[in-house]
Amino acid sequence: MNRSGQDPEDDKGLGFSTVIASTVHDMKNSLGMLMQAHAELAAKLPPELSNSREQGIIEYESMRLNGMLVQMLGLYKLGVDQLPLQPVHIEVEDFFQAALARHQDILRSRQIQSSYDIAEEGLMGFFDAELVDSVVSNVINNSIRYAQNAVHLRAWVEQKQLVIAISDDGQGYPERMIEAQSDYVLGINMTSGSTGLGLYFGARIAERHQRDGVFGHIEISNNSALGGGEFRIYLP
């Protein structure tokens, strides 16, 4: 018998993916508690310590780990059709401000300037704010990792689709990733440290947004106005 009083034989029908998803969920909760405890501790430190390089590393890597766990859970729920789309009307400027505010401490510690540009005042979007935010936050994290001095967000409407773009002034995406963007799962490369998970997750979330037979999608390029890589998500 196990601790729950069940015979281990009864667990044979439990799929491995379900076990992993449950474990990832517990990991995410534990990481959330650690991040909260760290934030409370950091608030008590003197400025010379709270703004240190080590503090920035802890904050960045914690947020990065949390983002990966969110993606893994999201992909599992997509696989078992348990990730419903809940679109709402949202002002894009508010969305951008909230996204950048969550990264402000990390941006400051790395001396990276953040900015955003909206094509028209009061631009509204109709999308699942939580899901799209998880995609945008992951891209911002990656941009912070590779940027030299700046990260920029912008939004506009193109052919009746809201386009959200995140760019930086880093070295850009590897050519192999741009060439394989029709099948992001091919971006997995353990030697380079790139799993391609973020792009695959972004593509799946984008395509869940559709209207009149038009499905959302993502694009990556090195045509950024900042000189580095640019990620775009198109939302009908």
Report the percentage of the chain scoring pLDDT > 90.
Answer: 43
Which pLDDT tens digit goes with each residue over 84-138?
889 999 999 999 999 999 898 889 888 899 999 999 999 999 999 999 999 999 9
Which pLDDT tens digit goes with each residue over 182-201?
666 544 554 444 556 788 88
Asked if residue 116 lies in contact with residue 152, where contact means CB atoms within 8 angstroms, the answer is yes
pTM of the model: 0.77
Cα–Cα distance for residue pair 136/101, rounded to 1 Å: 13
For 82, the token pair is: 């348990």
Cα–Cα distance for residue pair 236/231, rounded to 1 Å: 17
Interhelix angle 197-208/53-79, nearest 10 degrees: 50
